[in-house]
Amino acid sequence: MLAVVFICLCVCLVDALRGVASDMERQFEGRDFLCEREGKTVRIEAVNDDFCDCPLYGEDEPGTSACAMGSFYCENKGFMPKNLPSSNVDDGLCDCCDGSDESPGLCVNTCKLEALEVQREWMNAIQVLKKGIQAKAGLMEESTDRMANHEKEVEALKVQLKKHEDEVEKLKSKETELSELKRLGEEARNLVQGEEIQEGEEKEEEEPDESFPYPEEYRFDNEEDKGDEDFPYPEEYKFDAEEGDEPIPFPEEHKVDSAEEETSGFIHKTIEGVFEWFKSSNDENDAISMDKLKSDLESIQKKLRTAEFTVNDKKNEIEKKMKYGTIDFGAHNEFESLFGLCFEIQKQSYTFEMCPFGKSYQKDGKNSIHLGTFQKWGDQPYKEMLFEHGQKCWNGPQRTTKVQLKCGTSNKITHVDEPSICSYEMVFESPSACDEVDLELLEAKVAKMFLH
């Protein structure tokens, strides 16, 4: 009789522990069982009796499908343990590789085979991680140098920019000077030519002028004549400055207006000044001087344009460098090496391009559609890059690209898709994404599986 009771207790206990992890078995040792999460106590016989006493979490039925909210634990010895929803229990399908979710004899144990397959995958992943981490270390060394030089380069560029800006200022003032001289030269030439023509015309007109009151030999048309000792005018107009003498007034109609005389004198002086400059810079003649001035001006303008281009280039370079300084390249700057690079992948008729920290594009021969500019890292830090504000989708939102980063031994886009219209996804492999922590976790998983 005692033996029957003992056997029954053993069988009942085995049944009672179906679907329970070994480290949870102690909970099923007493006469009563506590549905801990639900705060309800049931008799031990109620465990796995195919009736749900604790419906909130199904804790009293770990090995049957009686509770909708229950969960079944497969031990899967030799492989990995697994938790299933209790609805998978005794449904005729082998969900656990050890077949424990179905009646004995229904399933073949596939745990060792599955373990081998997964082990192979994990060993490969460990190899990739190791190689990637090694490659990353090399890249990071280069990044450290680049980043250390970055500040210095910005400072050097600023000094260069200042030098080129000063050069532009100098060239501008030289250009203004030469343009002004050219303008004066041309005006002077026009004035001289104008005066010569006018003088010629006047001469022609004046020659027959009978009204000129003085004989031809008395005409005053030369500055030098001013100092002539033999005053050439009729005696009555000569003014000997003896005290008390009143000068004999010069006939009004023949007087030269003094204001006109002043203006004319100034113009002559300017013209003379300019031509003096021409002559001093070129002893050939005025025409050659003027040509030289023009060619000097052109060469200054050419130099000015080149210097202005250089200033712009330097400004752009500085702007780019400053932007670089604000980018988050990862916790240890492990993604810095990707800055400035672009990668492509072909899918159907499209070539997709992605430049980490830059832009992404979809190209089809003649068209290039902007799929977004890098904005930020995704929610999982340094595992996802988000590119936003791309070209507007027809009748829809602006295009975006989500780039998932995976560890790889080299940089390449391995996958591209458009899961919803104008919203693109890529997988990008890079040594920069190979994480030492991931390697440790994977190695621990492999070790655990071998021990299991």
- The closest alpha carbon to 170, from 316, 315, 314, 303, belongs to 303
Both tokens assigned to 14? 């085995």
The torsion region of residue 148 among left (phi > 0), alpha (psi -120 to 50) and beta comes to alpha
Nearer of residues 79 and 387 to ligand MAN, judged by Cβ: 387
Q: Residue 406: enclosing H or E segment and its boundaries?
A: strand 400-407
**How big is the site for ligand MAN, counted in residues (CB under 6 A)?**
7
The torsion region of residue 420 among left (phi > 0), alpha (psi -120 to 50) and beta comes to beta
Stretch that binds ligand MAN, among 120-128, 143-151, 162-170, 416-424 (CB under 6 A): 416-424
Residue 306 Cβ vs ligand MAN, minimum distance, rounded to whole Å = 41
Stretch that binds ligand MAN, among 53-61, 142-150, 417-425, 427-435 (CB under 6 A): 417-425
The answer to the question of residue 421 lying near ligand MAN (CB under 6 A) is: yes
Task: Dump the DSSP string for 144-195.
Answer: HHHHHHHHHHHHHHHHHHHHHHHHHHHHHHHHHHHHHHHHHHHHHHHHHHHH
Nearer of residues 78 and 390 to ligand MAN, judged by Cβ: 390
Residue nearest to ligand MAN (CB): 394
Q: What are the Cα distances from residue 287, in Å, to 169, 181, 189, 266, 291?
A: 30, 14, 10, 22, 6
Distance CA 51, CA 319 (A): 72
Helix axes 111-206, 436-451, angle to 10 degrees: 170
The answer to the question of residue 411 lying near ligand MAN (CB under 6 A) is: no
The torsion region of residue 104 among left (phi > 0), alpha (psi -120 to 50) and beta comes to beta
Nearer of residues 130 and 359 to ligand MAN, judged by Cβ: 359
Considering only the C-alpha atoms of the chain, give the largest distance between any 2 of them, rounded to a whole number of Å: 177
Q: Which of 147, 267, 393, 427 binds ligand MAN (CB under 6 A)?
A: 393
Q: Which of 394, 419, 437, 451 binds ligand MAN (CB under 6 A)?
A: 394
Nearer of residues 293 and 422 to ligand MAN, judged by Cβ: 422
Nearer of residues 68 and 421 to ligand MAN, judged by Cβ: 421
Residue 392 Cβ vs ligand MAN, minimum distance, rounded to whole Å = 10
The residues facing 429 across adjacent strands are 406, 412
Residue 418 Cβ vs ligand MAN, minimum distance, rounded to whole Å = 5
Site string for ligand MAN, 292-331 (x = CB under 6 A): ----------------------------------------
Calculate ∠ Cα 208-209-212, nearest 5°: 135
- Residues 224-283, interacting with ligand MAN (CB under 6 A): none
Q: Which of 296, 308, 317, 418 binds ligand MAN (CB under 6 A)?
A: 418
Distance CA 213, CA 251 (A): 10
- Residues 353-382, interacting with ligand MAN (CB under 6 A): 362, 369
Positive/negative CA dihedral, 242, 246, 251, 252: positive
Q: Which of 422, 426, 433, 439 binds ligand MAN (CB under 6 A)?
A: 422
The answer to the question of residue 345 lying near ligand MAN (CB under 6 A) is: no
The helix/strand/coil state of 300 is: helix
Stretch that binds ligand MAN, among 60-68, 263-271, 321-329, 414-422 (CB under 6 A): 414-422
Binding residues for ligand MAN, per CB under 6 A?
362, 369, 393-394, 418, 421-422
